[in-house]
Chains A and B, each alone.
Chain A
Amino acid sequence: MSAARTLRALPTLLRIGVAETVAYRAEFLVWILTTTLPLVMLGLWTSVASEAPFRGYTSAAFVAYYLSNLIVRNLTGSWVAWQISEEIRLGAMSMRLLRPLHPYVAFAASHLAAIPFRSVVVLPIAIVLLVSSGASALTTEPLQLGLLVPSRALAWIITCNRLFMIGAVAFFGTKTMALMNLYFALFSLLSGYLLPIPLLPRAIGWFAEWLPFRFMLSAPIELMTRPLDGAQVAAIMLGQIGWAAATLALALVVWNRGIKKFEAVGG
C-alpha cells in the first residue's frame, strides 16, 4: 500500500481506533487507573527524600520525575504484543492479512487513537500536580522544551516497534506472554519506570544508558527534568532516532520471517 494511500486511510483508522477504545466504558475507566504505578513510587521516594536529598534527588525532584514519568508513560504506552499474540493464537490475524494495509500501520493507528483517551483522566491531574508541586525541578530551557514532543513521539515509536516485534514472535511459538513478562520486567528496571536510571547500581546503570529501554521512557523525562547541555540533548535525540530505526528494522525482519510460519489456525 502506497504512503499516499495510507495517509488517505489514516483519518478513518484513527476514528475507528477511538470508537474501539471507548466501546467498553467500565473497562476503559479501570484501564485508565492501571497506569498509575508511578504515583505509588512517587509516594515512596518523596518519603525517602523528605529529610534530605537522596543521591542528589530532592523531594521536589522526585515529584517532577514521577509525574513526568506518569505523563510520558500515558503518552507512549502500547499493548500491540498482546493483540498480535492473541490474534495469531485465535486465528483472527487471517482476516487482518487479507487487507491491503500492513498490520504495523493498522495497529499503530489504533493505538495512536487511544492515547488521548488513555490520558484523559490522569494527564490533567498529573500536569496540575507537576506545576504546583514539582515546577522547581522542571526545565525551562527552550531547546529541551521544544524537543519534548518529538522525543515523546520517538519514545512511542520505539515502544511500538519493540512490542510489534515481540508480538510477531508468536508466529514461531503461538504464545508470547512469557516473553512479554520478561520484557516488562526489563523495561520496568531499565527504562526508569520504577526509579531514575542514575539511582540504579553503577554496572546496570551503564547498560541502561545504552539499551533502548531508556529511550522509550527516561529520555523524554530527562528532557523535562534535568539540566542538559547541547551534547547531552543531541545524544538523547540521536539515540532515540537510532533506536527507532533499528527497532523498526528488527520488527519488520521478525514479522516477515514469522509470517512464513503462519499457520492461520482455526476456521
Chain B
Amino acid sequence: MIRARELTKHFQVHKRPPGFVSAMKSLFHRTYETVKAVDGVSFTIERGERVGFLGPNGAGKTTTLKVLSGLLHPTSGEVEVEGHVPFKRETELLERITLVMGQKSQLIWDLPPSETYAMNRAVFDVPKAAFEKTLAELTELLELAPLLDKPTRQLSLGERMKCELAAALLHRPTTLFLDEPTIGLDVAMQVAIRDFVRSYNQRHEATVLLTSHYMDDVVALCPRIIVIDRGVLIHDGDLRQLIKAMDPDKRVSFTITTGTPPTDEELGKLGTLVTREAQRITLKVTEAQLPGVIGHLLNLKAADLAIEDPPLEDVLRVMFGQSKAKANGPGTGA
C-alpha cells in the first residue's frame, strides 16, 4: 500500500538573469526562490492497484515518485510505502520497491547489462535459482538475449530501456514506480512492456504507479488515474469517469467509400466535425444523438465505423487549461 498525506516538497532554486554582470553579482549576492514542486498532495493506493500518475511537465510527478521511493525527504507531510517510511531507506523496503526512470540509468555504463544483473542479484540477495528463472523470463519477453553481453554504452535508447526494466524487476519488487518506462521504445515494444507490466501486476499482486507521456500506456494499464498540476492534486479517480465528466461526447469515425461524400455542412447536422482526412471522417457526437447518427451513417454505407471515448490527451489538455486558469485567478488573463 502507498499512502501520502499532505505531502509537500519544496526546493530552493537560485535565480539569476543571463549575462556577465549577473554572473559576477551572483558571486556576492544570490536570490533564491522557493519552488513548491509538490504542495499538499494526499492519496492512498491499495496493494495490487495500477494507477496512472499524470500531469504536464514540471507538475511534480517525478518529485512525488522520488519521495515515495525514498530518494527525497519530504518538506512536510507523511508518506508510507508497504508499511515503511521511504526516506529511512530500510532494507526491507528497498527489497520490495523499484523505480524505473526513463531518463536515468541503473546499468553500469561501461559493462554489459549482465554484469548489472549479477550485481543486483548479489546486493538484493536473490537466490540463484529464482534469479535465473526471472532473468530467463525477462530475457524472453523483452528479447534481451542479443543485448546481455554488449556494453551498456553501446546500446540504443530502446535497447537500454528494456535492459533497465529487467534490472529493476530481477528482485521481484511488489511496488513499481515507473517513470516514463516506455520512452524511446518502438510501438511493438511499448505494447510488449504494457502487457508485461499488467501480467507482472496480476501474478505478483504488485502495486504500480506509472507516469507516461504516452497516453496509450495509461489507458491500457491504469483503471485509476491521479492528476497533478503545479504540485497540486486536481483529480483522483476512475479513468473512464474522468473522461465522461470532462467530455461526455463520443468520437464517431468512419470512411465513405461509395457515392458522393457528405459536405461539411451535412456532417455538421450530425455532430461536430473533428477531423476529415481523405475519406476518413471523425465527428464529435452527444450520447443522445448517437443512435440517430449511427443509423444515418449506415444508410450512407459508411465503412470502418468506430465509436470511441475522446482521447485522454484532449481531456487532459482541457483539464490542465482549467487548472491554469484557476491558478491565474479571475482577471489575470492568459
Contacts and interface: CB of A to CB of B under 8 A. Distances in A.
Contacts of B87: 260
A47 interface: no
Contact of B104 (A5, A11, A23, A267): A267
Contacts of A98: 69-71, 94, 97-99, 106
Contact of A99 (B62, B111, B123): B123
Interface string A224-263: 0000000000000000000000000000000000001011
A145 interface: no
A101 interface: yes
A2 B69 CA distance: 21
Given A98-B94, A99-B120, A264 B125 contact: no
A68 B71 CA distance: 43
A100 B84 CA distance: 14
Interface stretch (A12-20, A33-41, A206-214): A12-20
Interface stretch (A87-95, A118-126, A186-194): A87-95
A8 interface: yes
A260 B73 contact: yes
B122 A97 contact: no
A12 B118 contact: yes
B106 A95 contact: yes
Interface in B155-176: none
Interface string A174-216: 0000000000000000000000000000000000000000000
Contact of A97 (B89, B101, B102, B151): B89
B59 to A, nearest CB: 15
A26 interface: no
Nearest to A260: B73
B80 interface: no
Contact of B179 (A92, A260, A267): A267
A38 to B, nearest CB: 29
Contacts, number: 84
Contacts of A2: 91
Given A5-B125, A9-B122, A260-B73, A95 B104 contact: yes
A106 B119 CA distance: 10
Interface in B8-39: 11
Nearest to A19: B111
B72 interface: yes
B103 A12 contact: no
A24 B104 contact: no
Nearest to B153: A23
A16 B66 contact: no
A13 B73 CA distance: 28
A94 B72 CA distance: 9
A183 to B, nearest CB: 23
B301 interface: no
Contacts of B69: 98
B104 A91 contact: yes
B91 A16 contact: no
A99 B120 CA distance: 8
A26 B10 CA distance: 45
A92 B104 contact: yes
B121 A12 contact: yes
B70 A97 contact: yes
Given A23-B151, A267-B179, A100 B104 contact: no
A266 B71 CA distance: 12
B124 interface: yes
B111 A264 contact: no
Nearest to B66: A264
- Give the 5 A-B CB pairs with smallest separation, nearest first: A12-B122, A95-B106, A23-B110, A9-B122, A100-B94
Interface of B: 11, 62, 66, 69-73, 87, 89, 91, 94-95, 97-99, 101-106, 108, 110-111, 115, 118-125, 151, 179
13 contacts: A8-B125, A12-B119, A13-B119, A16-B115, A92-B105, A98-B70, A98-B98, A98-B99, A101-B123, A264-B72, A266-B103, A266-B104, A267-B103
Given A16-B115, A94-B104, A98-B98, 18 more contacts: A1-B91, A8-B125, A9-B123, A16-B108, A16-B111, A16-B118, A20-B110, A23-B110, A23-B151, A92-B104, A94-B99, A94-B101, A95-B105, A99-B123, A100-B94, A100-B123, A266-B103, A267-B101
Interface of A: 1-2, 5, 8-9, 11-13, 15-16, 19-20, 23-24, 91-92, 94-95, 97-101, 106, 260, 262-264, 266-267
